[in-house]
Amino acid sequence: MATKQIVKRKKLKIVGDNSRVIALPHIPQELGRIGNLTLRVLNLDEKEARKLLTETLDNFADRHRDIKQQLMRHYDKISEYIPKGINLSRTQKLLIGAYLTMEYSIESAALFNPSIVPHPDQSLLPPGNVRFIMSLRATGEGHISSIVFRSGTIDKNFTFNFDSVSEYVETPALVHDPFYDNILFRLKLKDMKAWNETSLTIMNKLPGFFTYEELKLSIQEVYMNPEIKTDNWTINVVNWLADSNYKIKFDDETALSERVIFPVSSNESKGLEDARFVKFTHDNGEETYYATYTAFNGHSILSQLIETKDFQTFNIITLNGDGVKGKGMALFPRKVNGKYAMLSRQDGENNYIMFSDNLHFWYTAKLIQKPEQAWEFVQIGNCGSPLETDKGWLVLTHGVGNMRQYAIGAILLDLKDPSKIIARLEKPLMSANEEEREGYVPNVIYSCGGMIFNDTLILPYAMSDIASRIAIVDLNTLFKKMKFIA
């Protein structure tokens, strides 16, 4: 079925490790239960409490880099409910924290839908080698998805040498005092139809750049002022917008493979899905890594943007506008004709392109491709950000055919006007072979983005939504297989 000979599959498989666990808060919703639990721990004598804590640390300390810090962090989440006048020992605090903690195996169900970009640090490499970062969608209990990373090098013979994967996994610290842009915040509220007297009053009390705490204080002042008529729905939207735009930072000591971006805000409580990373070059030559992903809360989806320069500190940003209501957004690696450009799938069936003056706002989409071949009759979409070549913008696509078989295809867009398709593969570049078709979702291969190295396409891809693999494709041979459109 697929175009043969030009695709070389590497033997290496990237599979999940169910021993890689994070410590998550496991706190009852009801305040009464928190109080009851705390009282039971307080009723233990100090000797018994120390014994229980010692047993806990013995069982879990070697599974986490600093389990005591995690337990104390979870205790702090309920410390405000401890009655005044009760002085708890450190042992009691840690033990309460342990009862409010659970382990979560982030990769226990699947490790799939990868994307790959050049590493920001290309120093100290042998000639002809490149260092890379690969993002993957990790899925665990309850099908909650997070973003994890792998790194390594590719040599001139296209040998992949992955860096060792740490036994530890760490969640980042949530930075509570990022600065919000007042003008941009207002524009997002207007786009969400939440611009009225309540939001205007809240925003007018804030400086041009404000912190999370300043916003909360302004909301409180407006809400508590009896002379101001407030709209509770608007206040909820303001809070939601602030909570959905946040910054996370990993500890300096963590290795890249230890970093996991796990759901933080309510709109992504059930997962961060299919991150498409791209190395973006600004007009001034500066480089930033962006990733579009789908936030899922169990009922609805939301397109979000990740921004980072070092893969240690990440800004999480909402995307706004009618153009980002669907899935599969993929940002171009630079502006085109002075505008940001992004691929999208507006209707779950066809491929579209969008242009915008502002990275945060996307409105009008233009249809560029409909399903034409039998292997894509059900739907098509992109498989990551476009790759710039001297022939045009290379876009990897996915097509869904009969029996829900997924295949990867390719099209070329005009460099100056990427709304025009100038060439396409009539047959799939890749489809699942016998080894790859068995898994959580059978008959599916899928990618969230490749990269070009030495005139060769490096294409990581998922196998049936359970594990991942890498293929390499010679670009010149690929172009010869494509049908150019007059």
Angstrom distances, CA of residue 195 to CA of 203, 216, 336, 395, 427 = 10, 17, 32, 38, 49
Average pLDDT, the chain: 95
| The pLDDT value given to residue 185 | 96
Residues 251-257, mean pLDDT to the nearest whole number: 94
pLDDT at site 2: 55
Angle at 86 between CA 80 and CA 97, to 5 degrees: 55
Q: What is the mean pLDDT of residues 124-150?
A: 97
What pLDDT does 80 receive?
87
The yes-or-no verdict on residue 260 having pLDDT over 90 is yes
The rounded distance, in Å, linking the Cα atoms of 291 and 5 is 32
**Is the pLDDT score of 261 beyond 60?**
yes
Q: pLDDT (tens digit, 9 = 90+) per residue, 319-350? A: 999 999 888 999 999 999 999 999 999 998 99
For 19-45, the pLDDT digits (tens) are: 999 999 999 989 899 999 999 999 999
Q: Which CATH number fits domain 7-17+106-173+246-484: 3.20.20.10, 3.40.50.720, 2.40.110.10, 2.115.10.20?
A: 2.115.10.20
Q: What is the pLDDT of residues 426-472, one digit of tens each?
A: 999 999 999 999 999 999 999 999 999 999 999 999 999 999 999 99
pLDDT digits (tens, 9 = 90+) for 386-414: 999 999 999 999 999 999 999 999 999 99
**Span between the terminal Cα atoms of the chain, in Å:** 26
Q: Give strand ranges (E) for 52-144.
A: 101-105, 110-118, 130-139
Residue 4 has pLDDT above 60, yes or no: no
Q: Alpha carbon of 412 to those of 401, 442, 484: distances in Å?
A: 21, 29, 9
DSSP 3-state of 344? strand
Residue 3 has pLDDT above 60, yes or no: no
What's the confidence (pLDDT) of residue 91?
A: 97
pLDDT of residue 338: 98
Q: Which long-range contacts (CB under 8 A, 24 or more apart) does 204-213 make?
A: 206/182, 207/182, 208/181, 208/182, 208/183, 209/179, 209/180, 209/181, 209/182, 210/179, 210/180, 210/182, 211/177, 211/178, 211/179, 211/180, 212/176, 212/177, 212/178, 212/180, 212/242, 213/176, 213/177
> Going by C-beta distance under 8 Å and a sequence separation of 6 or more, which residues neighbour residue 104?
21, 22, 23, 24, 140, 141, 144
Specify the length of the chain in residues.
486
d(CA 291, CA 277): 4
Q: pTM of this prediction?
A: 0.94
pLDDT band at 297, cuts 50/70/90? confident
pLDDT tens across 181-236, in order?
999 999 999 999 999 999 999 999 999 999 999 999 999 999 888 888 889 999 99
